[in-house]
Amino acid sequence: MGGEAMKGAQIELSRFVESWAPGAVTDADDLPAAPVAAMSALLDQPAPVAEAGDPLPPLWHLLYFLQWPAQRDLGDDGHPRHGHFLPPIPHRQRMFAAGRCEITEPLLIGDPAQRISSLGAVTAKHGRTGELLFVTVRNEYRQRGRTCLIEEQDIVYRSGRSGGQHPTAVDTTATVLSDEPWEFGLQPDPALLFRFSALTANAHRIHYDAPYARGQEGFPGLVVHGPLLVLAMLELVRHNAPQRHVRSVSYRLRHPAFAGERLLALGSPADGHAALHIATHREQSHATAEVTFA
């Protein structure tokens, strides 16, 4: 596609999805304990689940219901070329933007579960570098015939590369100062990002292929996964309020963080809820989240 055609695609993405209406899809997973032990090891934390029947920590369902397309079905960036909820737009680029989750009761390890996924809102918005397509996918998780949690994920798509501005180099020594009561530190290196990609079946090359991330995507280094930032924020709740039942979580990913940077998940609890965010020396809010307790 030539430059003018690409420009046109960037400002008219909505026309590609005018008749796009994928139906609901149901998946199943037995929720084995192994992914929980692996995620705990990745975070250098004791495994929170000892045996089948114990509750899964909030949002750790991201480790389950994974999709593994054939290698030939991956694009140059590592993302699948095709997918039930991937919008049919040219030169598609994907960004995880935000999400919400209502938890009636936690999922239980070792119990067969179902996920019913359906398309929510599809909204086109104009940004500084062209049109963006916001796609919301709704996931309902059921276990023992009951709906345990309902999640919505907002994914942003564009046609062509992002024109976003990023730092030219990664500072691996700068620290974050804070006086907030809840803290959880993390300094993701390439090995940690590679392991998280494997745990979540994420083949996007920006997380493990540094030459690609720099040369093709314009980043100064490997990009920390958005879901990893969200789970790091929720570690604050698991460590500091382990007896509280999380009723809902809403989060937003705002600025990318990079391998080697010192990240600090910070939180401030209040009556019935807690405000969380991820900070580096560059940004105070790479990601933000709000948790409410039952």
165-294 matches 1-163 in CATH topology? yes
The domain made up of 165-294 is a member of CATH 3.30.360.10: no
Q: What is the CA radius of gyration of the chain?
A: 19
The domain made up of 1-163 is a member of CATH 3.10.129.10: yes
pLDDT of residue 9: 39
pLDDT of residue 52: 80
For 91-101, the pLDDT digits (tens) are 888 889 999 99
pLDDT of residue 1: 37
pLDDT of residue 40: 93
pLDDT category, 10, cuts 50, 70, 90? Answer: very low
Average pLDDT over residues 17-34: 93
Average pLDDT over residues 44-64: 85
Domain boundaries, the chain: 1-163, 165-294
Residue 61 has pLDDT above 60, yes or no: yes
For 188-225, the pLDDT digits (tens) are 999 999 999 999 999 999 999 999 999 988 999 999 99
Residue 161 has pLDDT above 80, yes or no: no
Task: List 246's β-bridge partners, or say none.
Answer: 293
| Distance in angstroms between the alpha carbons of the first and the last residue of the chain | 52
Average pLDDT over residues 258-283: 96
pLDDT of residue 49: 56
Asked if residues 285 and 277 have their Cβ atoms less than 8 Å apart, the reply is yes
pLDDT of residue 200: 97
Note the pTM of the prediction, 2 decimals: 0.91
Residue 135 has pLDDT above 90, yes or no: yes
pLDDT of residue 18: 85
